[in-house]
Amino acid sequence: MKHADFYIGLEFFGSAGFVWRCTDVGSRTITAIQLEDGRDASWYNGPPYAVAEIVFDEYDFASCSRNFEEDIEHAIYESDHSGHPGFPHEVVKKTLDEGFPNDATERYPNKPLLRLDRLRQDGELLHPYAARKSNDGWLIRLYMPFTEEFAEMPEIDFLQLAIATDDDVKRRSCRKS
Protein backbone atom coordinates (compact mmCIF):
# COMPACT_ATOMS: atom_id res chain seq x y z
CA MET A 1 0.00 0.00 0.00
CA LYS A 2 1.01 3.61 -0.41
CA HIS A 3 0.81 6.40 2.15
CA ALA A 4 -2.11 7.97 0.24
CA ASP A 5 -4.16 4.76 0.68
CA PHE A 6 -4.44 5.23 4.45
CA TYR A 7 -7.10 7.14 6.37
CA ILE A 8 -8.19 7.10 10.00
CA GLY A 9 -10.41 4.07 10.61
CA LEU A 10 -9.10 1.99 7.69
CA GLU A 11 -8.65 -1.68 8.61
CA PHE A 12 -5.81 -3.42 6.80
CA PHE A 13 -3.52 -6.44 6.96
CA GLY A 14 0.09 -6.04 8.05
CA SER A 15 2.96 -8.04 6.59
CA ALA A 16 2.45 -10.92 9.07
CA GLY A 17 -1.29 -11.12 8.35
CA PHE A 18 -2.46 -9.35 11.51
CA VAL A 19 -5.39 -6.94 11.24
CA TRP A 20 -4.70 -3.30 12.05
CA ARG A 21 -6.79 -0.12 12.23
CA CYS A 22 -5.26 3.18 11.14
CA THR A 23 -5.46 5.76 13.94
CA ASP A 24 -3.50 8.65 12.44
CA VAL A 25 -1.94 9.70 9.14
CA GLY A 26 1.17 11.86 9.34
CA SER A 27 3.21 13.47 6.60
CA ARG A 28 5.42 10.37 6.18
CA THR A 29 4.08 7.73 8.57
CA ILE A 30 0.84 6.30 9.86
CA THR A 31 -0.04 4.92 13.29
CA ALA A 32 -2.29 1.95 13.86
CA ILE A 33 -3.59 -0.38 16.55
CA GLN A 34 -3.61 -4.14 16.17
CA LEU A 35 -7.08 -5.71 16.31
CA GLU A 36 -7.23 -9.11 17.99
CA ASP A 37 -9.96 -11.70 17.38
CA GLY A 38 -12.22 -12.16 20.37
CA ARG A 39 -11.08 -9.03 22.19
CA ASP A 40 -13.83 -6.69 23.37
CA ALA A 41 -14.27 -3.70 21.05
CA SER A 42 -13.92 -1.35 24.05
CA TRP A 43 -10.16 -1.90 23.89
CA TYR A 44 -10.14 -0.07 20.56
CA ASN A 45 -12.06 3.06 21.61
CA GLY A 46 -10.00 6.21 21.42
CA PRO A 47 -7.96 8.25 21.16
CA PRO A 48 -6.34 7.84 23.56
CA TYR A 49 -6.26 4.06 23.12
CA ALA A 50 -5.92 1.38 25.79
CA VAL A 51 -3.70 -0.59 23.38
CA ALA A 52 -0.39 0.49 21.91
CA GLU A 53 -0.35 2.58 18.74
CA ILE A 54 2.41 1.42 16.42
CA VAL A 55 4.16 3.64 13.86
CA PHE A 56 4.37 2.34 10.28
CA ASP A 57 6.83 4.04 7.92
CA GLU A 58 7.06 3.77 4.13
CA TYR A 59 8.90 0.45 4.35
CA ASP A 60 6.31 -1.01 6.72
CA PHE A 61 3.16 0.01 4.88
CA ALA A 62 4.54 -1.00 1.49
CA SER A 63 3.98 -4.60 2.62
CA CYS A 64 0.45 -3.98 3.93
CA SER A 65 -2.74 -4.79 2.05
CA ARG A 66 -6.47 -4.12 2.26
CA ASN A 67 -7.32 -7.81 1.83
CA PHE A 68 -5.71 -11.20 1.19
CA GLU A 69 -6.47 -11.12 -2.53
CA GLU A 70 -4.57 -7.84 -2.92
CA ASP A 71 -1.70 -9.33 -0.93
CA ILE A 72 -1.51 -12.40 -3.17
CA GLU A 73 -1.73 -10.31 -6.36
CA HIS A 74 1.07 -8.06 -5.10
CA ALA A 75 3.28 -11.06 -4.22
CA ILE A 76 2.78 -12.58 -7.68
CA TYR A 77 3.50 -9.26 -9.38
CA GLU A 78 6.67 -8.74 -7.31
CA SER A 79 7.95 -12.25 -8.01
CA ASP A 80 7.45 -11.68 -11.74
CA HIS A 81 8.82 -8.12 -11.95
CA SER A 82 11.15 -7.26 -9.06
CA GLY A 83 14.26 -9.06 -10.28
CA HIS A 84 14.92 -10.40 -6.78
CA PRO A 85 16.04 -14.05 -6.88
CA GLY A 86 14.26 -14.94 -3.63
CA PHE A 87 15.57 -17.10 -0.81
CA PRO A 88 16.08 -20.88 -0.98
CA HIS A 89 14.62 -22.96 1.88
CA GLU A 90 18.05 -23.69 3.36
CA VAL A 91 18.85 -19.98 3.51
CA VAL A 92 15.54 -19.15 5.19
CA LYS A 93 16.16 -21.84 7.81
CA LYS A 94 19.73 -20.67 8.49
CA THR A 95 18.75 -17.01 8.77
CA LEU A 96 15.84 -17.78 11.11
CA ASP A 97 17.98 -20.06 13.29
CA GLU A 98 20.74 -17.47 13.57
CA GLY A 99 18.41 -14.48 13.71
CA PHE A 100 16.51 -15.82 16.72
CA PRO A 101 19.07 -17.86 18.69
CA ASN A 102 17.95 -19.58 21.89
CA ASP A 103 21.40 -19.35 23.43
CA ALA A 104 22.13 -15.65 22.83
CA THR A 105 23.94 -14.16 25.82
CA GLU A 106 23.31 -10.62 24.63
CA ARG A 107 20.49 -9.38 22.40
CA TYR A 108 21.32 -7.04 19.53
CA PRO A 109 20.20 -3.54 20.61
CA ASN A 110 19.70 -2.02 17.12
CA LYS A 111 17.15 -4.43 15.58
CA PRO A 112 15.66 -1.83 13.16
CA LEU A 113 19.01 -1.82 11.31
CA LEU A 114 18.32 -5.43 10.27
CA ARG A 115 15.07 -4.71 8.41
CA LEU A 116 16.46 -2.93 5.34
CA ASP A 117 18.74 -4.31 2.65
CA ARG A 118 21.80 -2.23 1.83
CA LEU A 119 23.84 -1.80 -1.32
CA ARG A 120 27.57 -2.45 -1.30
CA GLN A 121 29.73 -0.02 -3.31
CA ASP A 122 30.07 -2.59 -6.12
CA GLY A 123 26.26 -2.86 -6.45
CA GLU A 124 25.89 -6.12 -4.54
CA LEU A 125 22.69 -6.44 -2.51
CA LEU A 126 23.25 -7.19 1.19
CA HIS A 127 20.38 -8.70 3.19
CA PRO A 128 20.98 -8.43 6.96
CA TYR A 129 19.48 -11.19 9.07
CA ALA A 130 21.31 -11.23 12.41
CA ALA A 131 24.08 -9.69 14.46
CA ARG A 132 26.70 -11.13 16.75
CA LYS A 133 28.88 -9.54 19.38
CA SER A 134 32.63 -9.54 18.74
CA ASN A 135 35.55 -8.09 20.69
CA ASP A 136 35.39 -4.96 18.51
CA GLY A 137 31.62 -4.40 18.67
CA TRP A 138 28.74 -5.83 16.68
CA LEU A 139 29.06 -7.69 13.38
CA ILE A 140 26.10 -7.78 11.01
CA ARG A 141 25.45 -11.16 9.43
CA LEU A 142 24.51 -10.84 5.77
CA TYR A 143 23.17 -12.92 2.93
CA MET A 144 23.81 -11.92 -0.68
CA PRO A 145 20.87 -13.36 -2.64
CA PHE A 146 22.37 -12.95 -6.12
CA THR A 147 25.64 -14.73 -5.31
CA GLU A 148 24.08 -16.99 -2.64
CA GLU A 149 26.90 -16.17 -0.22
CA PHE A 150 27.01 -15.34 3.48
CA ALA A 151 29.26 -12.70 5.02
CA GLU A 152 29.73 -10.50 8.06
CA MET A 153 30.47 -6.79 8.27
CA PRO A 154 31.12 -4.39 11.15
CA GLU A 155 27.90 -2.68 12.18
CA ILE A 156 29.13 0.86 11.44
CA ASP A 157 30.31 -0.14 7.95
CA PHE A 158 26.90 -1.64 7.19
CA LEU A 159 25.08 1.39 8.58
CA GLN A 160 27.06 3.72 6.30
CA LEU A 161 25.96 1.90 3.12
CA ALA A 162 23.02 3.18 1.07
CA ILE A 163 19.63 1.56 1.59
CA ALA A 164 18.82 -0.61 -1.44
CA THR A 165 15.94 0.51 -3.66
CA ASP A 166 13.74 -1.44 -6.08
CA ASP A 167 15.79 0.04 -8.93
CA ASP A 168 19.01 -1.24 -7.31
CA VAL A 169 17.54 -4.76 -7.19
CA LYS A 170 16.52 -4.57 -10.86
CA ARG A 171 19.96 -3.27 -11.87
CA ARG A 172 21.65 -6.06 -9.93
CA SER A 173 19.40 -8.70 -11.50
CA CYS A 174 20.58 -7.65 -14.98
CA ARG A 175 24.24 -8.14 -14.04
CA LYS A 176 25.99 -11.49 -14.24
CA SER A 177 27.24 -12.82 -10.91
118 & 146 share domain? yes
pLDDT value of residue 16: 82
pLDDT value of residue 50: 95
100-147 per-position pLDDT tens digit: 766 666 789 999 999 999 999 999 999 999 999 999 999 999 999 999
pLDDT value of residue 20: 97
Which CATH number do you get for residue 161? 2.30.30
22-71 per-position pLDDT tens digit: 999 999 999 999 999 999 999 999 999 999 999 999 989 988 999 888 88
Mean per-residue pLDDT for 83-112?
Answer: 81
Q: How many domains does the chain have?
A: 2
Select from 47, 81, 115 the last residue of a domain: 81
Select from 48, 81, 114 the last residue of a domain: 81
69 & 95 share domain? no
Which residue segment(s) compose the domain that 138 sits in?
89-174
pLDDT value of residue 29: 97
pTM of the model: 0.71
93 & 155 share domain? yes
Residue 154 has pLDDT above 90, yes or no: yes
pLDDT value of residue 150: 96
95 & 153 share domain? yes
74 & 93 share domain? no
8 & 68 share domain? yes
- Percent of residues, the chain, with pLDDT higher than 70: 97
Detail the DSSP E strand segments found in the chain: 11-13, 19-25, 30-35, 54-56, 118-119, 125-134, 137-144, 149-154, 162-163
Average pLDDT, whole number, for the chain? 91
d(CA 56, CA 28): 9
Residues with Cβ within 8 Å of residue 134, at least 6 apart in sequence: none
